[in-house]
Amino acid sequence: MSSNQVEAVLANLETTQDEARARLFDLLRIPSISAQPAHAEDCAQAARWLAHEFAAIGFTTEIRETAGHPIVLGHYAGPEGADAQARPHVLFYGHYDVQPADPLDLWESPPFEPQLVDHAEGPRIVARGAVDDKGQVVAFLCACRAWYLSTGALPVRITLLLEGEEEIGSPNLDGFLAANRSELAADVALISDTGMWDRTTPAITSQLRGMVYVQIDLFGPSRDLHSGMYGGSALNPINALTRILGDLHDDQGRVRIPGFYDGVAELPAALAAQWNALGFDERAMLRAVGLSAPSGEVGRSALERLWARPTADLNGIWGGYTGAGSKTVIPSEAHAKLSCRLVPGQDPAAVLAGLRQFVTERTPPGARVVIQDFNASPGVAVPVEGPFIAAAAAALTEEYGKPPVMMGCGGSIPVVGSLKSLLGLDTILMGFGLEDDQVHSPNEKFDWACFEGGARSHARLLGKLGGFG
């Protein structure tokens, strides 16, 4: 093996950019919204598209049905030769489903009509799913395609696992992993669904927050009541629920749920020093979204609060009359959605139990409360040492001319924990998104330079894992 082959692969990526963009646009046009039953066939179409594209470069692919949206499973046997089996076996995970595009009126172009838009910092692709996660999956596809077309083979064995329910909590994934352990056996997992530190600085994500996500439903009178005739006597569910939720945090920004901080470790001094040295400008981040001052837990640094401390946030609240004009009612019920972001060491079941206790203790007489549990996943710490992380760091360093930042992530990727607990796999989290990509929001985008850098970095990583350089 020689570095000349890697250069040939990179050259192929350079000369096929238009084809790569066309492929990505084809996938982005499919409105594979997993949360909406009306788009079930679109999800199936996205699965078929991916299965076809990977089959065209030597993968054996099939679509596996689940109780929800299908999973694309693929296998590449690896190169032939005496040392082929000694090379690592990589499981690549990604997802083809996307979030709903609402509110549609805030999009500058239709969400499923991808655009290449000029920008001062370079062209960018604007569409739902551009970066989360279709663009990053297609970057990996392009890297594999360049290896296949340039050298006739991919340098390592690869198992492909692409699901269509990540955006709704992957309800059928753990069962699939458990039922197919032997078929999914590998040496390491690779996920590209995270971000870079900035446009020119690559990153490997070393820890992720988990999540407990619930809906709280508080019921009072049997029907909506006239506020003049019943106000002052009848329980108002909105008043009761907002009083409960207003007690979630103390004056120092700490969460009051019983046992919430059990298992939460202090940030190691060396890691704290590394994060502080990054020079993160929290106020600039907040100004970009129309805020003037930071909030949250007092006495903690910005990156510590974002990456290594747990949170509890209301995501939605509703009840009563919210239409035009006035309707003076005491509503019969009130509702709220609440997410707790968890860090490694916290037990999601214990947090959920503490939340139930917190709400129940504050529920007034005459009210009935129901807590629906939609998601419970732990925070995950990913090893930052070993040959696989070293290969990823070397690939990124070659591509960007500087070593990657080992960073945390405030979001959740529950599959990382599942891959570890069910398959015994550690994960390389090597992503290429940016903070301003507007993930889950209108006008989601993916900088073309980040897509291109992602494809090239994946190509370099495959080469290093296969013994090139």
Q: Where are the domains of the chain?
A: 3-208+379-465, 210-264+310-377
Residues listed for the chain: 469
CA distances, 165 to each of 47, 53, 64, 68, 94 (Å): 11, 20, 13, 8, 10
Average pLDDT over the chain, rounded to whole? 95
**Residue 165 and residue 69 in contact, taking contact as beta carbons nearer than 8 Å:** yes
pLDDT for the residue 50: 98
Confidence bin at 82 (pLDDT 50/70/90)? low
In the predicted model, what is the mean pLDDT of residues 179-196? Answer: 97
Superfamily name and number for 3-208+379-465: Zn peptidases (3.40.630.10)
User: What is the 8-class DSSP label of residue 33?
Assistant: B
In tens, the pLDDT along 343-390 reads 999 999 999 999 999 999 999 999 999 999 998 889 998 888 899 999
pLDDT for the residue 84: 66
Is a pLDDT exceeding 50 seen at residue 153? yes
Confidence bin at 396 (pLDDT 50/70/90)? very high
Going by their DSSP bridges, the two strands 89-95 and 157-163 should be labelled as parallel
Is a pLDDT exceeding 60 seen at residue 1? no
Look up the CATH architecture of domain 210-264+310-377.
Answer: 2-Layer Sandwich (3.30)
User: What is the 8-class DSSP label of residue 85?
Assistant: G
Beta bridge partners of 316: 337
Is a pLDDT exceeding 70 seen at residue 81? no
Confidence bin at 469 (pLDDT 50/70/90)? low
* pTM for this prediction: 0.86
Closest CA to 47 of 175, 213, 164: 164
> In what order do the strands lie in the sheet containing 210-219?
311-319, 333-342, 210-219, 368-377
pLDDT for the residue 215: 98
pLDDT for the residue 375: 83
Confidence bin at 412 (pLDDT 50/70/90)? confident
| Burial tier of 16 (Cβ tally within 10 Å: 0-12, 13-18, 19+) | middle
In the predicted model, what is the mean pLDDT of residues 56-60? Answer: 98
CA distances, 296 to each of 19, 102, 289 (Å): 45, 28, 16
Confidence bin at 414 (pLDDT 50/70/90)? confident
Is a pLDDT exceeding 90 seen at residue 328? yes
**Residue 410 and residue 341 in contact, taking contact as beta carbons nearer than 8 Å:** yes
Going by their DSSP bridges, the two strands 203-208 and 405-409 should be labelled as parallel
pLDDT for the residue 225: 97
In tens, the pLDDT along 307-323 reads 999 999 999 999 999 99
In the predicted model, what is the mean pLDDT of residues 321-346? Answer: 96
278 token code pair: 């990054």
Report CA torsion sign: 241, 247, 249, 251: positive
| Burial tier of 452 (Cβ tally within 10 Å: 0-12, 13-18, 19+) | buried
In the predicted model, what is the mean pLDDT of residues 284-290? Answer: 92
> In what order do the strands lie in the sheet containing 115-117?
115-117, 124-126, 445-447
Is a pLDDT exceeding 50 seen at residue 209? yes
pLDDT for the residue 287: 93
pLDDT for the residue 413: 87
Is a pLDDT exceeding 90 seen at residue 221? yes
pLDDT for the residue 79: 80
**Residue 18 and residue 30 in contact, taking contact as beta carbons nearer than 8 Å:** no
What backbone phi and psi angles, to 5 degrees, belong to 342? Answer: -110, 155
CA distances, 242 to each of 237, 246, 322, 359 (Å): 8, 6, 16, 11
Integer Cα distance of 358 and 143 in angstroms: 50
In tens, the pLDDT along 92-130 reads 999 999 999 999 999 999 999 999 999 999 999 999 999
CA distances, 357 to each of 238, 247, 250, 347, 371 (Å): 19, 13, 17, 15, 11
Integer Cα distance of 307 and 274 in angstroms: 13
Which is more confidently placed, 385 or 240? 240
Helix (H), strand (E) at residue 190? strand 188-191
Q: Provide the 3-class DSSP secondary structure of residue 69.
A: coil
